Amino acid sequence: MSEVAASSLDGAELLAAVDAAVSRAFAGLRRSVRSNLALLTVAFSRVMGAARSGHGRLSLGALFRVLPSPGTAHAREKRLQRFLDWTIRGSTRGA
């Protein structure tokens, strides 16, 4: 996202720009991990830029509701849960 402000991009353009940046920065990771990181980054930017309930706290529910991936809300929730579970378990495997 070189010189284009993130607010001027629509959803697909923003995801494409973030995906390209994540792919360059984390070329050593598997493609599925890079695409999930890009999706989660876009979801974080949407949640942080919007009004939140729960006294401003960040919740997983808020993240999966704005996750820019196809499918039902339940499918997006499971995708987020599987990715976070893999990240936690994957970080302790090599230790």
Domain-embedded: residue 63: yes
pLDDT of residue 91: 56
Taking a C-beta distance cutoff of 8 angstroms, is the pair 19, 37 a contact? Answer: no
The answer as to whether 1 is a domain residue is: no
Q: Are 70 and 79 in contact (CB under 8 A)?
A: no
pLDDT tens by residue, 48-71: 877 666 666 778 888 888 888 888
Of 53, 60, 49, which Cα lies nearest the Cα of 82?
60
Structural domain including 70 reads 6-93
When divided into structural domains, the chain yields a total of: 1
SS3 percent helix, strand, coil of the chain, rounded to 5, is 65, 0, 35
**What is residue 49's predicted lDDT score, i.e. its pLDDT?**
77
